[in-house]
Amino acid sequence: LKLSKTIMENGELASGLNTVIETKTQLQDVLRIGIDKLLDETAQMDYTKIDFNDILGETDKNG
């Protein structure tokens, strides 16, 4: 879903949800653009500010 959101928000599919992808090459292009944008966003994230303990909760000390 995040990939779809990234592609749509950045206007890569100018006509929005009404766009029909007719060829394998078109699908590959859309996915490549979306993945590139997603990876760019991921690379810019500051993981030191994420509280993983808060997100994941407590773990069992026995394993």
Assigned domain for 52 exists? no
DSSP 18-56: G----SHHHHHHHHHHHHHHHHHHHHT--GGG--HHHHH
Inside any domain, residue 18: yes
Q: Kindly state whether residue 35 falls inside one of the protein's structural domains.
A: yes
How many structural domains are present in the chain? Answer: 1
- For residue 17, being part of any structural domain is answered with yes
- pLDDT higher at 5 or 33: 33
In a domain, 54, yes or no: no
Establish if 60 belongs to a structural domain. Answer: no
pLDDT tens sequence across 12-60: 554 455 667 788 888 888 888 888 888 888 888 787 788 878 888 877 7
User: CA–CA separation, 3 vs 33, rounded Å?
Assistant: 9
| Band (7; pLDDT cuts 50, 70, 90) | low
Residue 58 inside a domain? The answer is no
> Is residue 56, in this structure, part of any structural domain at all?
no
Which domain range does residue 31 map to? 2-46
| Model pTM above 0.75 | no
